[in-house]
Amino acid sequence: MQRFLDQLERKMGRYYVPELMKFLCLGMLGVFVLDFMPFGISASSLLYFDRSLILQGQVWRLITFVFLPPESSLFFILFALYFYYMLGTMLENRWGSRRFNLYYLIGVLGNIAAGFVTGYATNTYLNMTLFLAIAVLYGEMQINLFMVLPIKMKYIAWLDAALLIYSFLAGSWMTKVSLVLSLLPFFLFFGRNAYLAARHDIWKLKNWWNQRQR
């Protein structure tokens, strides 16, 4: 699989965007601000993925859905975009710009495919995979959650994984398709390593629990 990904990366040549996550986060923040402007129509309504509108000629929606912000308060979106930017930058610094672009591009293409199957597409699950990717690479790294609470990245990733699993189990078939295809880059880049890391953490948890029972 790594050889296949290396070949795809080489084929990208010079067609990649340095600091991609910065532009994505600035775009999401900009759309969030524009949605509150008194224009009579929200920016998001012009950008979201809609299969029927795309087939009618609004082809920009194939790409612009990646700039839709999380639907929440200003505080939460600033917090979310800070994390998206931090995680994306860490991956880009680890891999290089071209490989990070490939990771995100595969996710976007997966969502476009899901959009033509289900009628809609979202960037939410794709951005959530950044937490999972960083946890595989830097699971023991500690950050300050909400600038105060120290926590290891792998624990945030476990929470992230739990939310994704819940979304899959509780969601409609459209949500299931969207989620699975959004996770495509993570499975391609980290599938085996993620499985081994999860198995190791579960083994440690079982040992800790068994010692508590003695």
- 111 is in which domain, residue-wise? 2-213
Using CA atoms, how far residue 38 sits from 27, 31, 33, 65, in Å, is 19, 13, 11, 21
- Confidence class of residue 70 from pLDDT cuts 50, 70 and 90? confident
- What's the domain count of the chain? 1
DSSP annotation of 214? -
Decide: helix, strand or coil at residue 44: helix
Specify the amino acid at residue 163.
Answer: L
* CATH number of the structural domain spanning residue 181: 1.20.1540.10
- How much is the average pLDDT of 154-181? 86
- How much is the average pLDDT of 155-175? 85
How does the average pLDDT of the chain come out, rounded?
84
Q: What is the pLDDT of residue 194?
A: 56
Length of the chain, please? 214
Q: What is the pLDDT of residue 89?
A: 94
Q: What is the pLDDT of residue 161?
A: 82
Q: Name which of 88-92, 157-161, 192-196 the model is least confident about.
A: 192-196
* Single pTM value for the model: 0.84
pLDDT: which is higher, 158 or 67 = 67
Q: In the predicted model, is pLDDT for residue 125 greater than 70?
A: yes
Q: Name which of 149-153, 165-169, 186-190 the model is least confident about.
A: 149-153
- The proportion of the chain whose per-residue pLDDT surpasses 90, expressed as a percent, equals 40
Of 121, 123, 110, nearest in space to 20 by CA:
123
- Confidence class of residue 65 from pLDDT cuts 50, 70 and 90? very high
For the stretch 81-95, pLDDT in tens is: 988 998 999 999 999
- How much is the average pLDDT of 96-102? 94
- The vertex-35 CA angle with 29 and 39, nearest 5°, equals 135
